[in-house]
Amino acid sequence: MAQGGAGSGPERLGGRFRASVASPRASAGSAGPVCARPIRGMAPQATFDQIPDKPSFPQEEEKVISYWREIDAFKESVKQSKGRPPYNFYDGPPFATGLPHYGHILAGTIKDVVCRHAHQRGWHVERRFGWDCHGVPVEQIIDAKLKITGRADVLSFGIDKYNEECRSIVQMYVKQWREIVERFGRWVDFDDDYKTMDLSFMESIWWVFKELFKKGLVYRAFRVMAYSTALCTPLSNFETAQNYKEVSDPSIIVQFKLKSKDNAYILAWTTTPWTLPSNLALCVHPEMTYLRLKQKFGDNSEWIVGKDRFEWVCSSIKKDPKKDFDLLEEVKGATLKGLAYEPLFPYFRAKVEAEGRLDKVWHVVTDTYVTDKAGTCVVHQAPAFGEDDYRVCCTFGIIDKDGSGMVHPVDESGRFTSDVVDFKGQHVKDADKNIKERLKKEGKLVYNGTEVHNYPHCWRSETPLIYRAIPAWFIKVEEERHKIINNNNQTYWVPSFVKEKRFHNWLVEARDWCVSRSRYWGTPIPLWVSEDFEEVVCIGSVAELEQYAGRKITDIHRHFIDDITIPSKRDPKKVLKRVDEVFDCWFESGSMPYSSKHYPFENKDEFEKGFPAHFIAEGLDQTRGWFYTLMVLSTHVFDKPAFKNLICNGLVLAADGKKMSKRLKNYPDPIDMANKYGADAVRMYMCNSPVVRAEPLKFKESGLEVITKTVFLPWYNAYRFFIQNVTTYEADTGKFAPDAGRIKRSTNITDKWINASLHQLIKFVRDEMDAYRLYTVVGGLTKFLDDLTNGYVRFNRDRMRGLNGADDALTALCTLYELLLNLTVLLAPVTPFLTETIYQNLANALPAGHPMKQKSVHWVMVPDFDPEALDPEIQEAVERMQAVIELGRTLRERQKTNLKMPLKSMTIFNKDEVYIKDLKRLEDYVRSELVVEEVKYSTELSKISLSGVLNFKALGKKLGKDMKAVKEAAESLSQDELLAFESSGSITLCGHEISGEEMSLNRGVKDMDDPNMHPIADPKTMLMMDFTFEEGLYQKYLSNEVANRVQKLRKEALLQFEDPVDVWAAVVPNGKKEPKLAATLAAQAAYIDKRLRRRLFNGDLRQGHELVIKAEDYTIEGEKVQVVITSRSAFFNQAELKKLTSGDPSAAKVIQNYAATFDLPALTAASKTGALQVGYGGKTYKVEYKKHYALGPGEASWLP
């Protein structure tokens, strides 16, 4: 046997590597000798590589990655674009202390899509990856490793060793990040990345800070701030806002004993019992009314409580307001001012007395922040742990603004100090229980309950925050809000509501920004200060610090510079020392535009020409994070926004709508999804979802299955169909050469339609990408794919197969080529792998020097749209045709008629002459898709009748007893009234307004009594289809079924069109009473051959020596037919062979078996050299070509 079946040769993609194709399987059975694979003919070299029927998208993606590495595709594309206008993109830095999750993959995909498209639009797009190296995520890992619980442990271990431990693990997952980012198709530069711990990056941070310092935007203040006891550091207001959780906290009422009267108390409410040991005052509202009451139970003590909250107090302690209390008087809160009371705990009496503050401490004060929405209208004041408490106590002189007079018995880890001896060492939240027990024991606890409310938690450690008064460094924001808001108004966001609502509202209420953190591994705040903080020097560069240090500085982390001092100008005997804090890591990432370029120390002109950036993208959570800090710092430094355009994505959630959790394993691993469905499927699934417009996405694996089945496979099958038919065209006619001009010259309306749709799509993609609306872009692309696969390819199958002639086939193939080629370019940013696979093969047909012939589809520029190709009239005509086809299919389904069964006729009713004209131009497609023999048209609508059909289920409750009257009214409506209802969408019947959802219209034909005629309609047109059974139509149906089985078997045998095989069909008798299949095969032979584009031979003519490639028995409408595919071989003229052998059957068999030893190329060659010489029984037989045998039954002139 000749060798050379499918599956041989290297795996290449297009001209570079190919998707592997499996060899045909051997087929066992009784059909005859089996050939393991077909014998290939001697067709010319095909333009395109053959592709598998069933692709493995993940495997193809791995090949593409290897190819990109081979040609260094990304860096080469950047190199090629040098000299083009720069498109500036800022990539926010993630931490490398964990693996990327779907949120990272989503944001990375959005960035990749936009940047790839920008490159393909002629921009030079630099894409540098960045790493957030400092801060709590790194320190937490080291704390766990070294069992560090607080500041003392760090100082004992040594800041130098601690920081170097942090440095050592900063990039523990960089390798995995690179692999995962690459696997999901993102092109970004990891080799020239930036790191926030690099000296160049940190130095630019110093420069930014000094610019703010010089403008008077930096100050130090003692403030009550949200504080993480887990991290031992304060948090900024936007960090605090990031993580509120619903929790259950204590809700207690405590009675404070008044000094002015025995057995008299004032009641206060709190949810933080741990703050009570630090109480210094009680606050009431000056304008609110308070009650002085006497109990009728217990020790008959007196209480003071807010009037508006008295009933709540009574319900809490289960007392009756009237029966259990006597009202002594009502007073305004202002009259209570100055009342003295006994402190609940004795811990700070000596301190207060020593400082001479007894006349102010532990008195009632007033302020309007007190509310009647909760509690007792009396708020206990612990100025060390409450912002309002701090302000009010300063106002009344209880403490001073510098913190003097304050009691602060909680250390940096949130534990009580020795000042509170009874609870020393207890974490404040743990101490709540013990404090309540103490108060209860001493008779001071009136009510002990719980309160469910939203409370801020640390965004890193997930632990509850406390509010704690500490000194910190701030950046002014409040007095610059108007500038920040103005700069925000200059930016463009997708979606716009995030900018206009969420972000704007945040800016309107923005507070001054605490940028200092009491940590170690971070960029040190470059402030050197005197002991009293009156003398401050801000350093803005390494060189500036070297002047004071007297040495070369190569690292500015704390342990390299904290020893440096600066001489005091006020007192030469003293020195300034650096403040203890480091920068908030958000200040570092907000400085990224400048620091990643080492501005202004390097790249000054380049940066200034490219600022603000064209584009950034991150998740919705960054509205109070990176987006905010970028805007604040760019406003302070340059009075500009940091970016022009922004895409804000939503959160990716688990399928059940909950947050994705590694612990719960409630989501599929991203790499598993890429390996199962392909990264392209994940990318398109996310880009085509609400998540790219800041809405949440419930990630479901089924969504990837839908993308694969409804988008990728139809797209791939259209591409495979093209390759197969070009291969057939080249085998029959000649070399395929793309010719876009054929589309313009074509008279076929679907060619014009799909070309118009393509150029409309090109314009659409350009416009929508300019507007950064990924969600509309992907929707437009998938809509076009549907038009291509379920429209154009479906409508023009037979044309491309050559049924209308080679020239028309070439026009259709050239059209499909242009569609597929341009679609790969347009879709390349979204699905970079599949487009590369398809493009590499399609590019084989492009001549050298063609602008679209590149090594990678991602180097090809997005094409310009052709305004002349846009044709709304043609597009409307095809839409009308598609609507008619859909109506016809629906009617066939209602009649339970096989969609493949030919029907006698169909009539289209529409009063619009243009509508009818459009459909006449497309009649061939209507007949083909609806399998009807004849299409008729009518503009005469007088015979069409309308009737209203009420939706009783929807109207039941609405109509009630009027149902019958409304039904009768609907039945009596005139045709004009029904048409008016159809136009307006509503009608009034018996006083009830009936909507389009509550009544539908049926269309019928008057005086139609033929049971085989059935109508269907939509508001625009009506169809009437004739379902009359005819024998000839049934034979066509059977013929189509036979042809389909033959094509199915060829496909299973992995045959190409040009493969030299012969196909046979024979009906197997099975005792059916009225067999019709054999008669159909005979009567419809020419029709079947046209469908198959080859002869289908009677299986009874097989001679027994043929080698079988594939055989199968099929049942069609109860009858069995055997289809056999054989490798082409000698086909004998049995009459002439009988003459040659003088009727000797043994000699005839020897001759046939001898011929069967030749493969087709050898037999072809032998047929050209003369007669075959066959010796048998002492005789030599001269077996002549075309007389005694032919090369297959197709050449047998003696067959009918």
Which residue is catalytic, options 586, 715, 753, 859?
A: 586
H/E element, 860: none
Residues in a beta bridge with 653: 698
Task: Supply the DSSP string of 525-557, one letter for each residue.
Answer: P-EEE-TTS-SEEE--SHHHHHHHHTS--S--S
Rounded to an integer, what distance in angstroms lies between the CA atom of residue 949 and that of residue 1001? 6
Residues in a beta bridge with 697: 652
Name the phi and psi angles at 745, rounded to 5: -85, -15
Active site residue 626: yes
Instruction: Determine if the peptide bond prior to 572 is cis (ω within 30°).
Output: no
Rounded to an integer, what distance in angstroms lies between the CA atom of residue 220 and that of residue 403? 13
Neighbouring residues of 861: CB distance < 8 A, sequence distance ≥ 6: 120, 121, 122, 825, 851
Which residue is catalytic, options 132, 143, 1026, 1059?
A: 132
Which residue is catalytic, options 175, 214, 259, 662?
A: 662
Rounded to an integer, what distance in angstroms lies between the CA atom of residue 592 and that of residue 599? 10
Rounded to an integer, what distance in angstroms lies between the CA atom of residue 304 and that of residue 258? 10
3-state secondary structure of 50: coil
Residue in the block written with tokens 């990031």: 242
Active site residue 622: yes
Kindly list the distances between the CA atom of residue 734 and the CA atoms of 39, 729, 730, 802, 1093, in Å, as whole numbers in the listed order: 21, 7, 4, 13, 17
Active site residue 513: no
The DSSP letter of residue 380 is E
Rounded to an integer, what distance in angstroms lies between the CA atom of residue 1001 and that of residue 981? 9
Active site residue 586: yes
Q: Are 198 and 532 in contact (CB under 8 A)?
A: no
Rounded to an integer, what distance in angstroms lies between the CA atom of residue 440 and that of residue 447? 9
Neighbouring residues of 206: CB distance < 8 A, sequence distance ≥ 6: 523, 526, 539, 540, 541, 542, 556
Which residue is catalytic, options 433, 501, 604, 659?
A: 659
Which residue is catalytic, options 622, 1035, 1056, 1084?
A: 622
Which residue is catalytic, options 58, 93, 524, 738?
A: 93
Measured N-to-C along each axis, helices 806-827 and 713-732 cross at an angle, to the nearest 10 degrees, of 140
CA-wise closest residue to 595 among 1045, 93, 1050: 93
Name the phi and psi angles at 526, rounded to 5: -85, 55
Measured N-to-C along each axis, helices 481-489 and 626-638 cross at an angle, to the nearest 10 degrees, of 110
Residue in the block written with tokens 């050939």: 35
Residue in the block written with tokens 């025995």: 262
- Residue 980: other Cβ atoms inside 10 A: 13
Q: Is 684 exposed, middle or buried (0-12, 13-18, 19+ CB in 10 A)?
A: buried
Neighbouring residues of 363: CB distance < 8 A, sequence distance ≥ 6: 281, 282, 338, 339, 340, 341, 396
CA-wise closest residue to 840 among 829, 856, 863: 856
Q: Are 1070 and 1120 in contact (CB under 8 A)?
A: yes
Which residue is catalytic, options 68, 626, 753, 859?
A: 626
Token pair listed for 770: 């300019």
Kindly list the distances between the CA atom of residue 987 and the CA atoms of 804, 889, 1114, in Å, as whole numbers in the listed order: 52, 31, 56
Active site residue 770: no
Token pair listed for 1093: 């584009």
H/E element, 606: helix 604-609
H/E element, 655: none
Residues in a beta bridge with 2: none
Q: Are 1112 and 1123 in contact (CB under 8 A)?
A: yes
Residues known to be catalytic: 93, 132, 586, 622, 626, 659, 662
